[in-house]
């Protein structure tokens, strides 16, 4: 395969993606470079946006996500490889086996840099290998190698072995045992970080691919290097300022005590909004008794990662708010050693901590109610939580049922348990109680990926004086749209969301950056439209996958009960419905959420991409 026939690419891009059919085996893997026209790239940019458009073109929306026909795209962005802080990121885009809707999960660091240097803006896998294998993309060379000896290995050990086998300059995105066993919330891991939500790891596992390994030497051009360097320098300087101090100095885990005080810390499967044991597992306490170190992704000046020493077995584990809440208060576990150990096991198995904690907490409540006959699994019993994680990883006993996620487990159990399964569209709810953060409730309900704090930043509205967070009205819908659009653009450019506070006018500043990268005469207004188009493309994917308006809601518990410790935090079905309708109207969709005939993303389903046009 060669790129000689490729028209000169837009700066920031290679102007093509690589489509790899892993079914063809090691003898003759089918890898075709597909041209990406500049106007198509300008409409969808990269990351989540480009990935969604590619998946629409592939017809993945109607495929079984665990079938060979379902494609999975590793997508880079125009900013990857630039000197811009936090730009070394990639998106993994596919159809979620957990939600059966669009899934775009992001991760960071060397894989993004090396992946883009292969000379492609995205690497798209389809098909299914006959045996457990790895895919190696080395510039234009693609090979599929058997990987039976990696079966059952942790994400960390797999990465170590592949570095040993191929050399340190190769970068690896790998699944753990959970991905091999098709746990529906399995992750794809790189360098200890995870494309975490929605089960991309199971999609890769279903293809019999243990890892995608990349190395490359091709660099893109920049349209205006001096301006790009100046903008990058200014952004880096701002990234050292107060807007990121929380992440840099304390990490996201410091949310725990704040959320606890505001009664929005999901506890005991969302029965409470505060946790008596919060102080014991808060980072302020953890750092007193344990070694704490900091780390950062490649090309990042924030350095938000805080790693805590683990007593059992030594080493350290990254601690974020989400794994802390899900493996702590949500399961009523207040033993810091257990929470840290549980986080490490999730990392090694390659499973999403939020979905793991959410599903286990749901099962704990089912045990309390006599709906599951596993009396050993109890709220507050850390050892039982660890045992449940082990069973999920091993695919044994109750673990097989937990591996399906809370929605499927509730459907299997019946007896009204779906009312307290902590999920939206099948994706377990992150650590923001929607009854006390009601703009966020709307963001969860309408989220194309399900309950998701990364695709909707609506909690920002609730943490402001713009609304009464426990009783928001339809006026908050416009604010929710704004945060969702910002997230769509950040996930497509791609920038880390922890940078958002440093931008004064995010769309205008992004336009200035994109002009320097690509040479396009792009404006803030155009980027607003681009963000809306990307959100619309995700909605279009979901509609093709079978979405109905009934999905855009919250579990019955959130609409019928308040947290026991905050009776004022009350949301009703009628009020949420009004919010959803206001949101749909603000988006220019029908009040029920259907797209108009002339929706902005209608071209994404038939973009005219010509397979093989860039040479094979």
Partner 1 sequence: MPISASVMQVDVELFGIPRARAGTSKTTAEGSCLGDVLADLARRFPALAEACIDGRSLRPSYTANLGGRRFVTAPETPLLEGETVLLLSVDAGG
- Count residues contacting partner 1 (CB under 8 A)? 37
Residue 119 touching partner 1 (CB under 8 A): no
Mapped onto helix, strand or coil, the DSSP state of residue 107 is strand
Asked if 263 interacts with partner 1 (CB under 8 A), we say: yes
CA 148-151-152 angle, 5° bins: 170
Q: Rule CB under 8 A: say whether 13 interacts with partner 1.
A: no
Least distance (Å) from partner 1 to the CB of residue 497? 6
Q: By CB under 8 A, is residue 498 in contact with partner 1?
A: yes
**Candidate ranges 67-75, 81-89, 221-229, 430-438; the one touching partner 1 (CB under 8 A):** 430-438
Q: Which of 104, 121, 191, 322 binds partner 1 (CB under 8 A)?
A: 322
CA distances from 117 to 91, 124, 215, 216 (A): 16, 15, 7, 4
Our CA dihedral for 294, 297, 303, 306, rounded to 10 degrees, sits at -30
Of residues 131, 149, 249, 475, which one binds partner 1 by CB under 8 A?
A: 249
Sign of CA dihedral 90, 94, 96, 102: positive
Q: Which stretch binds partner 1 (CB under 8 A): 87-95, 371-379, 458-466, 552-560?
A: 458-466
Q: Closest CB to partner 1 among 4 and 465? A: 465
The residue among 608, 425, 446 whose CA lies nearest residue 535 is: 446
Which tokens is 493 given?
């450019």
Other Cβ atoms less than 10 A from the Cβ of 66: the count is: 17
Q: Which of 7, 219, 261, 369 binds partner 1 (CB under 8 A)?
A: 261
Q: Give the whole-angstrom CA distance, residue 306 versus residue 42.
A: 36
Rounded least distance, CB 272 to partner 1, Å = 14
Q: Which is nearer to partner 1, 151 or 245 (CB)?
A: 245
How far apart are CB 544 and partner 1 at their closest, in Å? 31
Taken in order 243, 244, 250, 254, the sign of the CA dihedral is positive
452 near partner 1 (CB under 8 A): no
Contact between 457 and partner 1 per CB under 8 A: yes
> Contact with partner 1 (CB under 8 A): which of 58, 320, 341, 509?
320
Confirm or reject binding of residue 118 to partner 1 (CB under 8 A). no
Q: Which two tokens stand for residue 611?
A: 């397979």
Please, where are the H alpha helices in 264-381? 278-281, 283-289, 321-327, 336-349, 353-368
Task: Name the residue nearer to partner 1 (CB basis): 264 or 398.
Answer: 264
CB of 481 to partner 1, least distance (A): 18
Residue 156 contacts residue 192 (beta carbons within 8 Å): yes
Cβ count near 608 (within 10 Å): 10
* C-alpha closest to that of 236 among 186, 303, 168: 303
Single out the segment in contact with partner 1 by CB under 8 A; choices: 192-200, 205-213, 464-472, 555-563.
464-472
344 backbone dihedrals φ, ψ, rounded to 5°: -65, -40
What is the smallest separation between the CB atom of 348 and partner 1, expressed in angstroms?
22
How far apart are alpha carbons 307 and 316 in whole angstroms? 6
- Select from 48-56, 123-131, 239-247, 533-541 the region that touches partner 1 (CB under 8 A): 239-247
285 binds partner 1 (CB under 8 A): no
Closer to partner 1 by Cβ: residue 285 or 295 = 285
275 belongs to the binding site for partner 1 (CB under 8 A): no
Q: How far is CA 611 from CA 96, 369, 402, 548, 614, in A?
A: 25, 55, 40, 32, 8
One symbol per residue from 545 to 574: x for binding partner 1 (CB under 8 A), - otherwise; what is it? Answer: ------------------------------
| Among 463, 503, 589, 594, contact with partner 1 (rule: CB under 8 A) | 463
> From the CB of 265, what's the least distance to partner 1, in Å?
11
Secondary structure element (H or E) that encloses residue 424, with its range: strand 423-424
For partner 1, the binding residues (CB under 8 A) are 242-243, 245-247, 249-250, 252, 254-255, 257-259, 261-263, 284, 320-322, 325, 430-432, 453, 457, 459-460, 463-465, 468-469, 497-498, 500-501
């Amino acid at each position: 395969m060669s790129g000689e026939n490729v028209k000169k690419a837009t700066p920031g891009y290679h102007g093509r993606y690589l489509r790899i059919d892993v079914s063809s085996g090691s003898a003759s893997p089918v890898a075709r470079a597909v041209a990406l026209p500049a106007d198509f790239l300008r409409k969808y940019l990269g990351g989540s946006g480009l990935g969604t458009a590619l998946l629409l073109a592939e017809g993945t929306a109607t495929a079984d996500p665990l079938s060979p026909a379902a494609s999975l795209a590793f997508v880079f962005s125009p900013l990857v490889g630039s000197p811009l802080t936090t730009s070394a990121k990639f998106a993994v885009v596919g159809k979620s086996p957990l939600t059966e809707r669009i899934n775009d999960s992001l991760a960071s660091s060397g894989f993004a840099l090396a992946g883009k240097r292969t000379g492609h803006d995205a690497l798209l896998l389809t098909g299914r290998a006959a045996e457990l294998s790895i895919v190696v993309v080395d510039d234009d060379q693609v090979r599929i190698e058997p990987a039976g000896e990696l079966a059952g290995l942790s994400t960390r050990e797999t990465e170590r072995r592949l570095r040993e086998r191929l050399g340190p300059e190769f970068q690896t995105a790998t699944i753990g045992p959970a991905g091999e066993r098709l746990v529906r919330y399995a992750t794809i891991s790189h360098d200890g970080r995870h494309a975490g939500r929605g089960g991309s790891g199971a999609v890769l596992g279903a293809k019999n691919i243990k890892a995608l390994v990349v190395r490359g030497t091709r660099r893109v051009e920049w349209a205006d290097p001096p301006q790009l360097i100046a903008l990058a320098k200014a952004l880096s300087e701002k990234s050292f300022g107060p807007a990121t101090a929380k992440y840099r100095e304390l990490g996201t885990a410091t949310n725990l005590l704040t959320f606890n005080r505001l009664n929005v810390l999901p506890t005991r499967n969302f029965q409470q909004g505060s946790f008596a044991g919060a102080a014991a597992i808060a980072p302020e306490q953890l750092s007193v008794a344990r070694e704490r170190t900091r780390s950062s992704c490649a090309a990042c000046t924030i350095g938000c990662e805080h790693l805590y020493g683990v007593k059992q077995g030594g080493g350290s584990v990254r601690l974020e708010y989400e794994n802390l809440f899900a493996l702590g208060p949500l399961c009523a576990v207040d033993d810091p050693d257990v929470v840290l150990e549980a986080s490490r096991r999730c990392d090694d198995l390659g499973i999403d901590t939020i979905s793991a904690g959410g599903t286990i907490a749901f099962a704990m409540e089912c045990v309390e109610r006599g709906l599951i006959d596993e009396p050993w699994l109890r709220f507050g019993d850390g050892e039982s939580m660890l045992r449940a994680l082990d069973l999920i990883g091993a695919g044994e006993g109750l673990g097989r049922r937990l591996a399906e996620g809370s929605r499927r487990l509730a459907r299997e159990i019946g007896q009204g348990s779906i009312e307290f399964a902590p999920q939206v569209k099948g994706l377990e709810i992150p650590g923001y109680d929607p009854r006390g953060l009601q703009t966020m409730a709307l963001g969860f309900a309408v989220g194309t990926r399900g309950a998701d704090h990364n695709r909707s930043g609506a909690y920002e509205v609730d943490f402001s004086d713009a609304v009464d967070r426990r009783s928001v009205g339809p006026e908050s819908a416009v604010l929710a749209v704004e945060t969702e659009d910002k997230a769509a653009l950040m996930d497509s450019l791609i920038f880390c969301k922890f940078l958002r506070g440093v931008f004064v006018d995010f769309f205008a500043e992004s336009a200035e950056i994109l002009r320097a990268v690509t040479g396009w005469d792009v404006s803030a207004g155009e980027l607003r439209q681009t963000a809306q188009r990307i959100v619309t493309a995700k909605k279009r994917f979901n509609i093709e996958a079978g979405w109905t308006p009934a999905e855009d809601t919250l579990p019955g518990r959130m609409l019928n009960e308040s947290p026991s410790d905050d009776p004022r935090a009350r949301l009703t079905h009628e009020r949420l419905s009004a919010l959803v309708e206001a949101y749909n109207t603000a988006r220019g969709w029908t009040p029920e959420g259907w797209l108009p005939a002339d929706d902005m993303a209608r071209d994404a389903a038939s973009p005219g991409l010509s397979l093989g046009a860039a040479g094979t």
